Amino acid sequence: MTVRVLVVDDSPLCLAAVRRALDEEAGFETVAEARDGERAVELTQRLRPDVVVMDVRMPGMNGLDAVERIMARSPTPILVLSGDPAARSGAMAYEALRRGAIDLLAKDDLAISPRSRAVLRDRLRFLSTVPVVRHLTPRGERP
């Protein structure tokens, strides 16, 4: 089975690192790339990937808002990548999970470490099998 992945990050370096990780092993397909949250929401609805890899800090709609909208409109397993070591264990991590992300991973050495790329592939393979449900938004808010 091929795991279809949508990659969302405004950094060309990170996009290339994730693409490289997926290209290194059979069984993964990058269905599209997006550089902001609005495009991520649109592509998730249209392409129905098996899993989304999502950065947090991006221009326009940030990754956390995109996670919330994706989970309200077209629930999909989401792995949040963070370049901020402190954020992964603090309030940002809690917020990402609260809004519907399934897992978080550091993107620290993704570009240079074969081990980090293998961990990413293992997580994506697993997350693509996790059943997810639609998340409700607070009253008065539109997803």
Per-residue pLDDT of the chain (143 residues; tens, 9 = 90+): 899 999 999 999 999 999 999 999 999 999 999 999 999 999 999 999 999 999 998 999 999 999 999 999 999 999 999 877 666 568 888 889 999 999 998 887 777 888 989 999 999 999 999 988 887 665 555 55
Q: Which amino acid is it at 114?
A: P
Can you spell out the DSSP letters for 25-45?
STTEEEEEEESSHHHHHHHHH
pLDDT at 141 (0 to 100) = 56
Please report, for the chain, the start and end positions of each structural domain, with discontinuous segments joined by +: 3-101+118-127
Can you spell out the DSSP letters for 85-141?
HHHHHSHHHHHHHHHT--EEEE-TTTTT-HHHHHHHHHHHHHHTT----PPPPPTT-
Alpha carbon distances (Å) from 62 to 3, 34, 36, 65, 119: 25, 12, 7, 6, 25
CATH of domain 3-101+118-127: 3.40.50.2300
Report the alpha-carbon distance of residue 23 to residue 50 in Å, rounded.
Answer: 16
For residues 36 and 59, the answer to whether their CB atoms sit within 8 Å is yes
Alpha carbon distances (Å) from 64 to 3, 56, 141: 23, 6, 15
pLDDT at 109 (0 to 100) = 77
Instruction: Report the relative pairing of strands 51-55 and 103-106 from DSSP bridges.
Output: unpaired
Tell me the pTM: 0.90
For residues 7 and 33, the answer to whether their CB atoms sit within 8 Å is yes
SS3 75: coil
